[in-house]
Amino acid sequence: MIQILDNALTSLQAGVCALELYGEDHPFVKKQFSTSAELLADILARAGEVRVGLLDDRVMLSDEAMPSSAELERTLFTWLRNHEVDGIVLRAGVTEKELRDFAAFLSSREEQPLFKSRHISLAVIACGQPDTSDRRFEDVELAHVGAKHMPGLHSLWDRMLQGQESDDAHLMGIAADLAHAATESRSAMLPLASLKRHDEYTFVHTINVAMLASALAEAVGVSGQTLHDITTAALMHDIGKQLIPQGMLNKAGKLTKEEFRLVQSHPSLGANLLLARKDLPDIATIVTYEHHMQLAGGGYPVLSRPRKIHFASQIVQVADIFDALRTDRPYRAAMTRNEALEVMSRSAGPSFDPALFDVFIDRVVGRTEENTVEPADEPQLVAV
């Protein structure tokens, strides 16, 4: 029973995470809530009622830790603690509508009365609440998918930058895992795309781009080792930024000419770093070098002769621009999904392949009537 309950709660939190980006009518969001409701109906028909609560940072059902305790603690239960409760009581009869209402309560950033419905109530169940005063909703979303790889990626990058032997197999393991997550459940990674953490920007951005690129690659028919290689390349695409002073990358005001030149050197700095790696796929170096080059010429690094941009670089570039536009930066606010797609639609053609962008809208970020992107009359380049 505990595994079914675990699946029901992780589906619920996936639904909450995706709600903000996709809206309640998106098939992925609907699927999460219907799956959760079905699983809960199964358990509650037998048990009548279940109480899940925190005990010393572990999410418990009676005296047993939930299989996904760590993930639930960082996500669903942090949302609950933000409302000063640490437990959920679920009773037989819980409906999908109640779960949706509960999700809306969890994802709301506004002050509101504690949620209560006929079959769901929230309570202080266990003791040992950690201090969550400095945790924000955005931090919690980070925990959803891919976030588990952040520490591993941090230390791999650190080692790589210090010129130490790093475990490339570990890196490719992370890429394989992200690619798997993206192909198993294409939409599951998108909650990460709404993250707005400045301090972790490059890492969060890296993981977002890896998952978006992986989903786009899969959507255009890439599979197996090539899919993993493109995901690895996406994980590495901004590695060169680690050699640029943080203050410059996050500068709110205008960059000086010299600063601009330095920031624009991150693709070649990154490619140089990767050339020294023994086990990384060549595609990682190519993508890192090309990810700011535009299809019709332009972008950077500036070359003296035209270069045909590798298909993998084009895939990563679409993911890269979308995530950059969707994220709050010190110099501009994050755009909504529709705004980002609209801005990108004006650049399709000179900047990147319009057909690839169409697949990205249709198969990766989803096309609903309300977010259908009208083709723009005038092409306009995107500054990221």
* Residue type present at position 123: A
Minimum CB distance to Fe ion, residue 29 (Å): 27
In three-state secondary structure terms, 125 is coil
Minimum CB distance to Fe ion, residue 264 (Å): 9
Minimum CB distance to Fe ion, residue 267 (Å): 6
Minimum CB distance to Fe ion, residue 238 (Å): 4
**φ, ψ dihedrals at 87, nearest 5°:** -155, 155
Minimum CB distance to Fe ion, residue 242 (Å): 11
Taking the least distance from each CB to Fe ion, the nearer of 182 and 207 is: 207
Taking the least distance from each CB to Fe ion, the nearer of 32 and 351 is: 351
Write out the two tokens for 88. 């959920």
Taking the least distance from each CB to Fe ion, the nearer of 241 and 346 is: 241
CB 152 within 8 A of CB 174: yes
Q: Interface residues with Fe ion (CB under 5 A)?
A: 238, 320
Taking the least distance from each CB to Fe ion, the nearer of 45 and 303 is: 303
Taking the least distance from each CB to Fe ion, the nearer of 177 and 320 is: 320
Identify the CA nearest to 161 among candidates 295, 10, 273, 4: 273
CB 361 within 8 A of CB 367: yes
Number of separate helices (H) and strands (E) present in the chain: 17, 5
Residue located via tokens 């992107």: 373
Write out the two tokens for 112. 């509101």
Identify the CA nearest to 288 among candidates 276, 311, 272: 272
> How far does Cα 261 stand from its chain's mean position?
29
Minimum CB distance to Fe ion, residue 321 (Å): 8
Taking the least distance from each CB to Fe ion, the nearer of 73 and 320 is: 320
